[in-house]
Structure 1
Amino acid sequence: MSAATAQRRVIVVGGGLGGLWATLAIAGGGQKVLLFSLFEVMRSHSVCAQGGINAVLDAKGQRDSIDQHIHDTLKGGSWLANQPPVKSLCEAAPSLIRTFERMGVTFSRTPEGLLDQRLFGGVKHRRTCFAGASTGQQLMHGVDQQVRRLEAEGRVQKLEWWEFLGLVKDADGACRGVVAMDLRSLEVQAFRADAVVLATGGLGQLYAPQTTCSTNSTGAAASRVYQQGARFANAEFFQFHPTAMLGEDKTRLMSEAARGEGGRVWVPKDPADRREPGRILEAERWYFLEDWYPAYGNTVPRDIASRAIWRVCRELGQGVGGGDRVYLDLTHLDRGFVESRLGAILSIYRKFAGTDPLDAPMEIFPAAHYAMGGLWVDFEHDPASGGVTPGSPRNHATSIPGLYACGECDYGYHGANRLGANSLLSASYSGRVAGEAVLSCLAGIERGADDLPAAPFQDEVARQQAINRELMTGQGSESPFQLHDALGALMTDRVGVVRDNASLDRAIAALAELEGRAAHMDLREASPWANQTLAHARQVQDMIRLARVMAASARARDECRGAHYKPEFELPLPSAGDADGPAWQHYRERWRAENARWLKTTVAEHGIDGPRIDFEPVDLSVLAPDRPRDYR
């Protein structure tokens, strides 16, 4: 059998939308897939996505266009995203929605039976397809059913409740398999593969408990391959969702759809006003987003809204009750309309807050939500289309040969800030593209992983077992749970919504100290069966190393761009007025100068003493950055 026709084995790590789409593409192309997941795939964090998925269908007759979707995505990301992948992403979105439809996804529809679309932040057109307020869950059901079909045919094998620990590389440094741990038996085992796709999601647990992310969104897998040589890009860009529900245990997402469907954000004009919100008259309320950004109002992008809420609460002292909270108000909207469109988040708020958002405004504050940065991935530019070359083995390839990444764990599509409802789109699209790239990569392999000697696999198993033994028998005094708490507090306080270099310097020093402490843990548990503390301890160590990348990247970028905000380097926008006046001309000159210096991708490489930070150019071949972001 020739190399081109031989069946190969591919490992996909992660069972969310990115991993399932990659699995569909690879198994559908005739190759065998081993699908690893920390838990049942339908518990993946993709099911938590609420508001919708973007695609230009122009269902509302607003003369929306794919070119406008591309522009909104690039502008929303402060022009930092490589443009060919963004172009292909937006162009593929409509057909992706039709594919989901054929999978049986129950999108919300108009009374005429057409796909409904809602408004989301950073845009002026209704472009977001949705399934109530549980869109991610519905998309996952559709794709999961297709993967189950391939599983029944023997083309996919699921290994749920296994944790990825590290890569196995051959003598040339190419990825040829993984080492993983059975979370029940704690068995550590090597698995051979001709290519590996990492689709392990985000890293919001670096900010726990002030995060909307799942407890499994640790970023540990990405950290592990980074430590094995994969480059990590744009780590400083982390999105804080403006409308997170306050909670003692964690914060919970109140979808951006609430703003898109007409929700209004406000505080009492008098910060000393302690009346119930329903008793505060309209004239006594401050709708600050509408005042500051009249062109977009409550649908400004997330980074803009988060900083506005931060400013109102922390700098102006006008948060509700004098604290860190503002109102997200739905009470002026039709009750039946809100229930039908936002039922999932209403249920969450009722359950955990004990009040009904239809009767009283929700109380919200920004929380860590989404990583724009992630593993560096390549692409091949297609000059003919301006997008990426379909099926190129370079697409979504990391800097380690044979290793691909997709979904939130890569950095490919969002630049400095992600537009709402582009996450489900990028996860699905990137998974499919990565899968197609892997098929092309496999066609060029002459020597399969099964033909390799056993030594590199045995060596990596032994290394991972040694780490486990050291943790299980350690005589240290540090608790992994307390270290995680310290990490979350540190990141929230010093690498949060608003940053400054002095705080970042302290964070970098404190993280180095935390990493040292994490080498001396006491698990207080030596059980050889289902030892969750062992798995968590390993994740904490790798989260700290990834946090060092984020802090160092933030320290290296002395500007304000998207979610990365250092007030001391801000270029204040001139007052709204004549766009050709001298003030705006001078501002645009300074903005172009700043772009010449900082419109670059931050790239981190692992070093013994910490991350090494460098910068590389951004591909601007589709659309020249034409103007600064201005949502007023």
Structure 2
Amino acid sequence: MAAKNMIKREGGKIRRVVVVGGGLAGLMTTIKLCEAGVPVDLVSLVPVKRSHSACAQGGINASVNTKGEGDSAQIHLEETAYGGDFLANQPPVKGMADAAPGIVHMLDRMGVPFNRTPEGLLDFRRFGGTLYHRTAFAGATTGQQLLYALDEQVRRYEVVDVKDELGVGIPGERMVRKFEHWDFLGAVLDEAGTCVGCVAQDLKSMQIRAFTGDAVVLATGGCGMLFGRSTMSVICTGTAASAVYQQGAVYANGEFIQVHPTAIPGADKLRLISESARGEGGRVWVPKDVRDRRDPKEIPERERDYILERMYPGYGNLVPRDIASRAIFKTCFHERRGVFSPDTGRNELEVYLDLTHKDEKFLRDRLAGVLEIYEKFAGVDPYRNPMRVFPAVHYSMGGLWVDFEADASGSLKVGSPRNQATSIPGLYAVGEVEYQYHGANRLGANSLLSCLYAGMVAGPAVASYRKGLRRSAFDVPRSVFEEAERRHEATYQRILTQNRMEKHSEGDIENAYRLHADLGELMLRDCTIERDNGLLSGVLAELGEMEERVKRVRCTDAAPRVNQGAPFVRHLENMIVLARVVAEGAMRRDESRGAHFKPDFPQRNDAEWLRTTLVQHAGPGEVRFVRSFDYVCAGERVHVTDAVDTSLVVPRERRYEHAGAASAKSTAEQEGASS
């Protein structure tokens, strides 16, 4: 008997969906579910307003074309596909590009304080990989402004009663129940392998609890902490993705990790200097003379090497991030032409990012937030001195595999339960935790857009999935959830008590934070900008050792409440699993594509590698690579292969030496291909 679209189940229980993650993707999913009349339990590791989305600085892309440059959604699609080295399935990208202008106008109506032109129109700046002013922005704190706007919308639903099938409000049952400071532990699967909820831990009381949900949507962000130091928040460990991957979810394109070309080097973490700094005229340079010891302000223009403008005159300082990062790495690491540091008395792995030629008022209007960060942490006035920057791990293009269903126009079929569905029935994923929209390299300012669009797609998809359920999760025997709680409680107790017996000598005991530092150093050194198969073999060997070392970790905290040590150990165990996915994928892909660069295989190889890397967990220390698999969605079996849908933009050589390379030929080439 079908579950139908009833709000209440046996015992008067309200049917809900669980959304895990309070960033932009999670909030937008929640809004769209509430609009469809579906109540939501919103579970977040941190207070919603502290989600990593708040750290996004530069802006959000949309081809509104207020500047009359001839920009369009078609060009946005082409440049996104081109920038991602044609590894993204194109129907979801087309859907995102088509929806982008409406999304920005919706945010404007929500009250996001976007910058405006003197005429009162929305202002747009340029970002990497495009020749168009396509990026709407709110100073240099766009992510924070968007997050706060969506949080306000969700808060409305926290005081709105759930309505039954007759439209009558149910007292005490709110459309959104928010659970902040809860750590996702894993999905709850019924006897058929369908996701019917999740288990999470309250980080204040340390209570472990199962949440029942007709579906679970993961919006838990990226995995930057695999690399120890990155521009990402310390909460971005990838633990949720790793947990469900170990439960059977397919992971895709894990080897594609974006390195942002401009960040402030630091001992604790690497703080981002947004691409908007280059979008507003910032120039990257080093002295032409490697022995130059002068203050950068004393070095005349003719004695500076503007490396990106020299190497890529068509796009200059706004080439895509993977290209800019490699150019800077080549200059500093291989050519030893970093900039001189008076503190160390030698050239460092840094370049100058220079905005001193721009008017200070202009910069304060458009970049104050990001320049304030530099001044605070570098102790140097960026309005009058060039900034010292170097590439840093920034984003994961790979993530949980999710599906889509295309319509006749080549875009997405709205409301299809396949959209954003993982390979585990009932489990969905949105935002950076999934792989769908960016291919081998994400264009700047597409991240906020993809988070919002994925949420807009996932809401109707989950509502459709829920309508077609033969049995509600709220009719599943309680024993299924109790067993999941017991299993995770046992794991938590194991972490608390392991290696506390006297038989262990201190030399055998591992410290979780030291082990994480070793993991980060290993991945950062040998698995980022340049990759070598010999070094990757060493990475995999060391990961094998770390898989043994983590068993010898002794938890540093035994407190019954607000225990920070034990959850970190749990995250660390999951990080090591995910690190193997990244390294194994990098080892196997013998080509250079987007953010994945192997000097021994410098060319893209479409004949062999124009395909998605699909991996399944095969047990401790084991990764299974597959070319196809089947999964069940809304009662129907779906066959999936690793083929990439390139039906809308024909793959071609990726070059940025000349302006217009991204889109000038695409229409003609497509017409030629179709004829």
CA distance in 1, matches of 2:319, 2:372: 25
**Other-structure match for 1:332:** 357
**Other-structure match for 1:344:** 369
CA distance in 1, matches of 2:32, 2:445: 23
**Other-structure match for 2:468:** 444
Structure 1 position 248 matched with structure 2 position 267:
yes
**Other-structure match for 1:187:** 207
Superposed CA deviations along residues 94-145 of structure 1, whole A, max 9, x for unmatched, are 0011111111111000111100000000000000000000000011111110
TM-score, scaled relative to structure 2 = 0.89
CA distance in 2, matches of 1:461, 1:410: 26
Structure 1 position 390 matched with structure 2 position 414:
yes
Unaligned segments of structure 2, at least 5 residues: 8-14, 161-173, 341-346, 501-508, 628-641, 659-675
Superposed CA deviations along residues 514-570 of structure 1, whole A, max 9, x for unmatched, are 111112211132111111011111101100100000000000100000000001111
CA distance in 1, matches of 2:622, 2:527: 17
Q: Which one of the candidate residues 256, 260, 268 is aligned to 2:279?
A: 260
* Secondary structure at 2:477 match in 1: coil
**Other-structure match for 2:654:** 628
**Other-structure match for 1:299:** 318
Q: How does 1:121-520 map to 2 (within 5 A)?
A: 121-153=128-160, 154-209=174-229, 211-321=230-340, 322-382=347-407, 384-475=408-499, 477-520=509-552
Alpha-carbon deviation of 1:3?
A: 3.6
User: CA contact under 8 A between 2:33 and 2:463: conserved in structure 1?
Assistant: yes
CA distance in 1, matches of 2:114, 2:556: 48
CA distance in 2, matches of 1:4, 1:361: 62
Amino acid at match of 1:437: A
CA distance in 2, matches of 1:630, 1:610: 39
Amino acid at match of 1:149: R
CA distance in 1, matches of 2:348, 2:109: 48
Alpha-carbon deviation of 1:147?
A: 0.1
* Secondary structure at 1:434 match in 2: helix
Q: Which one of the candidate residues 5, 11, 33 is aligned to 2:18?
A: 11
Amino acid at match of 1:380: E
Q: How does 1:34-73 map to 2 (within 5 A)?
A: 34-73=41-80
**Other-structure match for 2:127:** 120
**Other-structure match for 1:577:** none
Alpha-carbon deviation of 1:5?
A: 2.9
CA distance in 2, matches of 1:631, 1:379: 34
**Other-structure match for 1:581:** none
Q: Which one of the candidate residues 626, 649, 673 is aligned to 1:614?
A: 626
Alpha-carbon deviation of 1:614?
A: 3.1
CA distance in 2, matches of 1:250, 1:620: 38
CA distance in 1, matches of 2:72, 2:155: 35
CA distance in 2, matches of 1:524, 1:549: 28
**Other-structure match for 2:613:** 602
* Secondary structure at 2:329 match in 1: helix
* Secondary structure at 1:601 match in 2: coil
Q: Which one of the candidate residues 547, 554, 558 is aligned to 1:526?
A: 558
User: CA contact under 8 A between 1:13 and 1:35: conserved in structure 2?
Assistant: yes
**Other-structure match for 1:27:** 34
Alpha-carbon deviation of 1:331?
A: 0.2
CA distance in 1, matches of 2:92, 2:433: 16
Amino acid at match of 1:600: R
Amino acid at match of 1:192: T
**Other-structure match for 2:12:** none
Amino acid at match of 1:283: R
* Secondary structure at 1:109 match in 2: coil
Superposed CA deviations along residues 385-430 of structure 1, whole A, max 9, x for unmatched, are 1111111000000000000000000000000000000000000000
User: CA contact under 8 A between 2:284 and 2:317: conserved in structure 1?
Assistant: yes
Amino acid at match of 1:332: H
Amino acid at match of 1:108: N
Unaligned segments of structure 1, at least 5 residues: 572-590
CA distance in 2, matches of 1:390, 1:491: 39
User: CA contact under 8 A between 2:5 and 2:466: conserved in structure 1?
Assistant: no
CA distance in 2, matches of 1:29, 1:536: 37
Superposed CA deviations along residues 46-90 of structure 1, whole A, max 9, x for unmatched, are 010000000001111111111110010000000000010001000
CA distance in 2, matches of 1:499, 1:464: 37
Q: How does 1:543-554 map to 2 (within 5 A)?
A: 543-554=575-586
CA distance in 2, matches of 1:630, 1:133: 26
User: CA contact under 8 A between 2:319 and 2:656: conserved in structure 1?
Assistant: no
Alignment CA distance shift 1:544-1:223 (3 Å): same
Stretch of structure 1 that moved more, 389-398 or 608-617: 608-617
CA distance in 2, matches of 1:337, 1:525: 49
Superposed CA deviations along residues 288-343 of structure 1, whole A, max 9, x for unmatched, are 10000000000000000000000000000001122110000000011110111000
Superposed CA deviations along residues 497-529 of structure 1, whole A, max 9, x for unmatched, are 100100111001111111111122111321111
**Other-structure match for 2:89:** 82
User: CA contact under 8 A between 1:192 and 1:449: conserved in structure 2?
Assistant: yes
CA distance in 2, matches of 1:3, 1:165: 27
Alpha-carbon deviation of 1:451?
A: 1.1
Amino acid at match of 2:285: W
TM-score, scaled relative to structure 1 = 0.95
4+ residue runs over 6 A deviation: none
Alpha-carbon deviation of 1:2?
A: 7.7
Alpha-carbon deviation of 1:39?
A: 1.3
Amino acid at match of 1:159: F
CA distance in 2, matches of 1:221, 1:138: 26
Alpha-carbon deviation of 1:178?
A: 0.6
CA distance in 2, matches of 1:521, 1:41: 31
Structure 1 position 101 matched with structure 2 position 114:
no
User: CA contact under 8 A between 1:549 and 1:611: conserved in structure 2?
Assistant: yes
Superposed CA deviations along residues 362-403 of structure 1, whole A, max 9, x for unmatched, are 000000000000000000011x21111111000000000000
CA distance in 1, matches of 2:216, 2:487: 20
CA distance in 1, matches of 2:646, 2:318: 27
CA distance in 1, matches of 2:402, 2:655: 26
User: CA contact under 8 A between 1:300 and 1:631: conserved in structure 2?
Assistant: no
* Secondary structure at 1:389 match in 2: coil
Amino acid at match of 1:629: R
* Secondary structure at 1:567 match in 2: coil
Amino acid at match of 1:612: R
CA distance in 1, matches of 2:324, 2:150: 33
User: CA contact under 8 A between 1:185 and 1:530: conserved in structure 2?
Assistant: yes
Q: Percent identity?
A: 53
* Secondary structure at 1:71 match in 2: helix
Amino acid at match of 1:542: N
CA distance in 2, matches of 1:628, 1:55: 22
